[in-house]
Amino acid sequence: MTFYAQCAAAWQRHQSMLCVGLDPDPARFPEPIRAAAPDDVLAQVEAFCRGIVEATAPHCCAFKPQIAYFAALGAEAVLERLGRWVRASYPDHLWILDSKRGDIGSTAERYATEAFGRYLAHAVTLSPYMGSDSLTPFFAHTGGGVFLLCRTSNPGGNDLQMLPLAGPDAGLRLFEKVAQQVAQRADWRGQDQAGLVVGATYPEELARVRALAPEAPLLVPGIGAQGGDLAAVLAAGRTADGGLLINASRSILYADGSAHWQTAAARAAQELAAAMQ
């Protein structure tokens, strides 16, 4: 099954476009998690992430662990265990490694092995700045997907992504060229393996990306704590199959710090998923 087909199956099976981000921050863990293992941060991370997955799985179609939150704590082994557990216990959910890698040659091959072999990801986020050479090693993993940074949700994305191009690409901005490459070039698309990251904070640009790459799955951060407009995102990027993986992290993860933290996370996920319908 191609990655595009995996996305379509997840949207259909769960009737949801919600992707729950896993950004474990021990300083924000609910009190019961800290109390259960007061001297073991890694145990807290694993218990918290498992609890979030269990609570939100009925309402989402994907989970997106951000590797920096694990690596900063020396919790890579925890992320490995979570990957094995999610793939075994929730086989119909997508597991997306948010690592924003970007390199070429043997280094890119190692990053691809890390994502698909070590962490068992269905897909991984990549920077496309080094071009098609940096994508090829990931496309070699049959069925594995990539999400290329295109129009990111941060204000500083304007520095490069909005630059107008010249020559044969006159009339396009840099982020539009990235979308066009995915739509038109096999070495940027693979076997239906490449999606795009487009921030919810820029719905007009999201609509432009959808027009340029009508079939590509779009990973959309920026809903929730970053203030993206859900209705505008749906209007700009939704397709008949779904088309969007709309990510929310902090607004779900830290919805409540009490003994009812899982119930609160589940409610936040359920409400957001329902709003997408």
Query: What are the tens digits of pLDDT across the range 243-264?
Result: 999 999 999 999 999 999 999 9
Say what the pLDDT of residue 224 is. Answer: 67
Say what the pLDDT of residue 217 is. Answer: 98
Q: Tell me the C-alpha distance between 258 and 32, whole Å.
A: 7
Say what the pLDDT of residue 89 is. Answer: 98
Q: Tell me the C-alpha distance between 182 and 148, whole Å.
A: 9
Span between the terminal Cα atoms of the chain, in Å: 26
Bridge partners (DSSP) listed for residue 22: 65
pLDDT > 70: what percent of the chain? Answer: 99
Return mean pLDDT, the chain: 96
Strands (E), the chain: 18-22, 62-65, 94-101, 123-126, 145-151, 194-198, 218-220, 244-248
**Total domain count for the chain?**
1
Q: Is the CB of residue 69 less than 8 Å from the CB of residue 25?
A: yes
Please state, in angstroms and as integers, the Cα–Cα distance from residue 76 to each residue in 54, 66, 82, following that order: 20, 11, 10
Q: What domain range includes position 130?
A: 3-276
Per-residue confidence band for 225, with pLDDT thresholds at 50, 70 and 90: low
Which amino acid, one-letter code, is at 38?
P
CB count within 10 Å of CB 199 equals 26
Say what the pLDDT of residue 70 is. Answer: 98
The contacts of residue 118 (CB under 8 Å, 6+ apart) are 80, 83
Say what the pLDDT of residue 164 is. Answer: 97
Is 132's pLDDT higher than 80?
Answer: yes
Given the residues 34, 50, 100, 238, select the one marked as catalytic. 100
Q: Tell me the C-alpha distance between 101 and 137, whole Å.
A: 12
pLDDT digits 0-9 by tens, 139-155? 999 999 999 999 998 88
How much is the average pLDDT of 57-62? 98
Say what the pLDDT of residue 127 is. Answer: 97
Q: On the CB side of 28, how many CA atoms lie within 13 Å of its CA?
A: 14
Say what the pLDDT of residue 223 is. Answer: 83
CATH number at residue 216: 3.20.20.70
Q: Tell me the C-alpha distance between 240 and 139, whole Å.
A: 26
Q: Tell me the C-alpha distance between 39 and 168, whole Å.
A: 60
Say what the pLDDT of residue 203 is. Answer: 94
- Is 100 marked active-site? yes
Is 227's pLDDT higher than 80?
Answer: no
Is 216's pLDDT higher than 80?
Answer: yes
Q: Tell me the C-alpha distance between 128 and 103, whole Å.
A: 9
The contacts of residue 18 (CB under 8 Å, 6+ apart) are 56, 59, 60, 61, 62, 246, 248, 269, 272, 273, 276
Is 31's pLDDT higher than 70?
Answer: yes
Is 177's pLDDT higher than 70?
Answer: yes
How much is the average pLDDT of 185-200? 97
Give CA angle at 274 (253, 54), nearest 5°. 40
